[in-house]
Chain A
Amino acid sequence: MSEIVYEIKNLKKHYEINLGLFKKPKIIKAVNGISFNVKKGEVLSIVGESGCGKSTTAKLILKIEEPTSGQILFEGEDITKLQHHELSEYRKKVQIIFQDPYSSLNPRWKVGSIIGEPLKLNTDMSDKEIKERVLYLMEKVGMHPDWFERYPHQFSGGQRQRIGIARALALNPEVIVCDEPVSALDVSIQAQVLNLLLDLQEEFNLTYIFISHDLSVVEHISDRIVVMYYGDIVELKSVEDLFNNPEADYTKKLLSAIPTIKE
C-alpha cells in the first residue's frame, strides 16, 4: 500500500454570521466533519458545486484558514498545531495553483521575479542561483527563457497559468493544491495545461489535490474522487468506481449533468 501523505480526521469549519446585537448568530457549516486520506503520488479530486465546501477544505489544508475542530495530519504531524518555523517548513512542502491566472500574478513584477519569489523568501540561494533555478523551471513548464524579463500582461491565459505552475514548483513541493486550475481557460488551452500537469506529476513525483467542478476533466486526471455536498462528503471512490457505479443520489445527479447530444 502506498504511503499516506494526508490524514484528515473529522475536520470542521463553521463560520459565524452576526445578524445583530440581540439575535443569535447564524452558523454556516462550510465543512462539517469530513475525513479522508491522500496517498503519495496520487491525484485526489474534490468535486461539488459552489458552496459545497471544496475550496474551504483546500484553504484548511493550506492553513490559510484555521479549522473549528478536527485534525489534519501531514506525514503524521498535526498541522493545525504548527507554529512559526515549523509552519514555514510545512508551507514549503505544500503549494497552490490558483484558478484565475489574471488576478493571481502581480502585474508590476516581471516573470522572473514572480517565479523566483518563493526562492528568495524561503531559501539562502544567491541571486544567480535563483535565476538559474527560475530558468530551469521556465523550461520545465514550456516557457521560452527570453520571457524572463516580461510582464504578465504580455501573456495569454494559458501562458500565465504556466507562470503560476512554475512558481508552485519552485520549492520542490511534495503536494500541490490545484484550485480549478483550468476552468478560466479556453478549451484548447485547458488540454495543454492538463498535459503539463500530468507530465510534471510524473517527473517530480507530485501529489495533487485537484479541486474542480468539471467532471470530464476530473475523470481524465484523477485517481480518486471526493464528492462534496453542503459541507459533507457524500462519496469517496476511485474514478472507475465512481463513474461506473455511483451510489449517492447527488453523485448521480452530477454525472447526469454531463452534457449529452440534443434529441
Chain B
Amino acid sequence: MNLLEIKNLKTYFYSDAGVNKAVNDISFEIPKGKTVCIVGESGSGKSITSLSIMRLIDPPGKIVDGEVIFEGTDLLKLSDKEMRKVRGRDISMIFQEPMTSLNPSYTVGYQIDEALRLHQKQLNKKQRFEKVVESLELVGIHNPREKYREYPFKLSGGQRQRVMIAIAMACEPKMLIADEPTTALDVTIQAQVLDLMNDLQKKKGTSILFITHDLGVVYQIADEVVVMYKGHIVEKASAKELFADPRHPYTKALLHSIPVPGVTPRKSKLDTVDENVDYLSFPKEIR
C-alpha cells in the first residue's frame, strides 16, 4: 500500500538567466510504514522535492506539473486552507538545523503545544500538557515535565533535534519528511537520532521520507532509495539491492567515492564523480 504517490512532478525556478528545472519529471512512491531515502548532491533537487510535497515553494519557484497523491487526494489541487490542515497533522517536516529552527523566545513545551493547539482543537489545556509530556518522553528526553519549561538555548544539539522530532510527531502524522535531520549532529548523537526514528516508525507506523547526502545514513535507515541527479531520478531500488548491486554509473561513482573501513584499501585513490560526464545520458535504472 502506498501512502504517497508522486507522479511526473516538475518544479521549475524562473530567473532572468532562464528556467532552472530543479525537479524535472520525477515519479516515486512512499509505502505505508516504510522509509524512503532521497540521496543526491547539493543542487540535485532533493530538498525541492520535499518542499514541493509540502507545497512550500515560493516564487520564483513554481510547481509546473504533476501530481502528489496522498491517500487518494492530489495535494496540489487543495486550497491553501485545506493544505494548511494537512501540514503538521498528516505530514510533518523536520529540518536540518536544530539550532535555528526552534524559536529562541518560547519554551520547548509551548512550541510542541502549538501543533496541538492548531490541529487538535478538541483537547483542553490539561490534556494537551499531558500529550506534550508524553511526546517528549517518546523522543527520549529525561524529566519531560521540567524540560517543558526550558528554553531552547539550554538544550544540546541532539536534544533540540529530539524536540523538533517531538513537534513533528505531536499530532501523530501519517508521514514525516526529514530533510538532513542529522547532518549538523555528532556521529554518536546521529546514531541515537536515527535509532529513535526507526523506533518511532515501528511504534506508530509512520512513513518517512528521508533526505540526505550521506550514504552511511541511507544504509542505516532506508527501505527504499531514490538517487537524484540534476533534477532527475537516475536510480530507484530497495536499499539492499542498491548497496549490493548499484547499476547506474552515477550511483556507482557515488558509492565508490566514500571509503568503507575494512573494504577500501587504506590511502588508495578514491573513485570520484566525474564532472565532465553527463550521467543523464545513461539509461535510468528503476527497479
Residue positions of A touching B, CB distance < 8 A: 49-50, 157, 186-192, 194-195, 198, 213-217, 219-221, 239, 243, 253-254, 256-262
Q: Which of A188, A216, A220 has the most CB of B within 10 A?
A: A188
Is the beta-carbon distance between A187 and B257 smaller than 8 angstroms?
yes
Is the beta-carbon distance between A192 and B272 smaller than 8 angstroms?
yes
* Nearest CB in chain B: distance from A42 CB, A: 11
Is the beta-carbon distance between B267 and A187 smaller than 8 angstroms?
no
Q: Roughly how many angstroms separate A113 CA and B260 CA in the complex, as a whole number?
A: 38
Q: How many residues of B contact A (CB 8 A)?
A: 41
B217 contact set on A, CB distance < 8 A: 259
Is the beta-carbon distance between B215 and A219 smaller than 8 angstroms?
no
Q: Roughly how many angstroms separate A190 CA and B253 CA in the complex, as a whole number?
A: 12
Interface flag for B220 (CB, 8 Å): yes
B42 contact set on A, CB distance < 8 A: 157, 186
Is the beta-carbon distance between B41 and A257 smaller than 8 angstroms?
no
Is the beta-carbon distance between B266 and A254 smaller than 8 angstroms?
no
Residue positions of B touching A, CB distance < 8 A: 35, 41-42, 157, 186-191, 194, 198, 213-217, 219-223, 239-240, 243, 253-254, 257-262, 264, 266-267, 269-273
B219 contact set on A, CB distance < 8 A: 259-262
Q: How many A-B residue pairs have CB under 8 A?
A: 97
Is the beta-carbon distance between A214 and B267 smaller than 8 angstroms?
no
Is the beta-carbon distance between A216 and B258 smaller than 8 angstroms?
yes
Given A49-B189, A187-B254, A259-B217, 5 further pairs, Cβ under 8 A: A49-B188, A188-B253, A191-B257, A217-B259, A220-B266
B239 contact set on A, CB distance < 8 A: 261-262
Cross-interface CB contact of B254 among A188, A243, A258, cutoff 8 Å: A188
Contact sample, A vs B, 28 pairs, CB 8 Å cutoff: A49-B187, A186-B213, A187-B213, A187-B214, A190-B257, A191-B257, A191-B272, A195-B272, A215-B187, A216-B216, A216-B258, A216-B259, A217-B259, A220-B261, A220-B266, A220-B270, A221-B267, A257-B191, A258-B261, A259-B216, A260-B219, A261-B219, A261-B220, A261-B239, A262-B219, A262-B221, A262-B223, A262-B239
